[in-house]
Amino acid sequence: MRVPLSQVAEMATYIAKNKIRPRPEWQKNLSGDDTANPFRIIHTQIPSMKAERKPHPMINKRFPLVLMLEPLHACNLTCTGCGRIREYEDSIRDRVSLEDCLKAVDECGAPVVSICGGEPFLLPDIGVMTAEILKRGRYIQLCTNGMFLVRKLKDFTPHPNLVFNVHLDGMEKNHDIAVEREGVFKQAIEGIKAAKAAGYKVFSNTTVYKETDMQEIWEMFEYLEQFKLDGHTISPGYGYSAVNDREMFLTREDVHEKFKIIDKMARRFPVVASPVYMDFLKGDRDLPCTAWGNPTYNVKGWKGPCYLITDAHHKTFEDLMTKTPWDHYGAGNDPRCQDCMVHCGYEPSSAYGINAKLGDPFKTLSWLLR
């Protein structure tokens, strides 16, 4: 099974609760128009929808699913595609305290916490932070370049809700080019081996850029089979404000072309992307903005509107949810959103049921149980 039944049940309960009893303050559109439907993108593209079809009231609810927790932006590497070390250059030495990280986890309430950065293993208290978040019953994806895994494993204890998500953008030569240092691939593999031997869950985490050869990613997944990884996350590297002056990033059309192979990959390897998200990648349906689903907390506060675009940093999660003009974002509303296919491990759009098709629940269920 890709996802344990207990996790599927807990997520389903959380989603159902938030749909049945949504927080009214989070559902308001600041522009005042179109109050029934926060997804202006839908009728931007299908004008008839507004007049004739109102989305089911259970669908249009805003609530967080995955907290993107960035306790620091410092990293031991300077990966070519990393926006964080560039956007947050002026605060690169700053860190969110353990206390503030836990406060953010409590304030937000999202069932999944993705600890990213920066390189979280540079934090001396990363083991304690992880244990404290697990105590709160959350699922953790700990994103890392894998270089400190061997050394730092002693700070952790294996837990069914903890996954180490190790960055690998290709086979040895190309991964080392992408992270701008020789030897990183080898060290990451040593980390993966050590973590698996110690009983941890491990995913690989791949970003696809313009120059990525999907055949090489296939080969990499084949190579990784010997280590019995628990999953592969794979997402497109799209241009956004902090990085989009660079030619390596994919346009929406490029993404569809690159990810033509994704169904075949997912049949062969344990790819952690739901069938609905794969439809978005292939261009089989429109991907709406669900920025509130992946709130980001970092050294400057709650980053709004999303992981990619920074228009404000809010002091509280409540401010992020109530003061962000959510209806102003998304492809068709804001040019910066044009190529976005944001993917943070759990695809909010599929969980929210937006642009749903008949049969989606069965498709998703059979994928989860496979």
The site for ligand SF4 (CB under 6 A) is made up of 240, 289, 291, 305-306, 308-309, 329-330, 334, 337, 340, 342
DSSP SS3 for 298? strand
Q: Which of 39, 148 has the CB closer to ligand SF4? A: 39
Question: Six-digit token pair at 221?
Answer: 């997944």
Question: Residues with Cβ < 8 Å from 172, sequence gap 6 or more?
Answer: 185, 186
CA 177, CA 209: separation in Å to the nearest integer? Answer: 13
| Total residues belonging to the chain | 370
Q: Which of 281, 291 has the CB closer to ligand SF4? A: 291
Q: Which of 155, 334 has the CB closer to ligand SF4? A: 334
Q: Which of 123, 337 has the CB closer to ligand SF4? A: 337
* Least distance between ligand SF4 and beta carbon 242 (Å): 11
Helices (H) and strands (E) in the chain, counts: 16, 9
* Least distance between ligand SF4 and beta carbon 64 (Å): 13
Helices (H), the chain: 5-20, 40-45, 48-52, 84-87, 98-108, 126-135, 149-152, 172-178, 184-197, 214-224, 252-258, 262-268, 275-282, 317-323, 348-352, 360-369
Q: Which of 146, 330 has the CB closer to ligand SF4? A: 330
* Least distance between ligand SF4 and beta carbon 156 (Å): 31
* Least distance between ligand SF4 and beta carbon 109 (Å): 20
* Least distance between ligand SF4 and beta carbon 214 (Å): 23
| Burial per residue of 307-327, b for 16 or more beta-carbon CB atoms within 10 angstroms, e otherwise | bbbbeebbeebeebbeebebb
* Least distance between ligand SF4 and beta carbon 116 (Å): 15
One-letter identity of residue 101 = C
Q: Which of 231, 305 has the CB closer to ligand SF4? A: 305
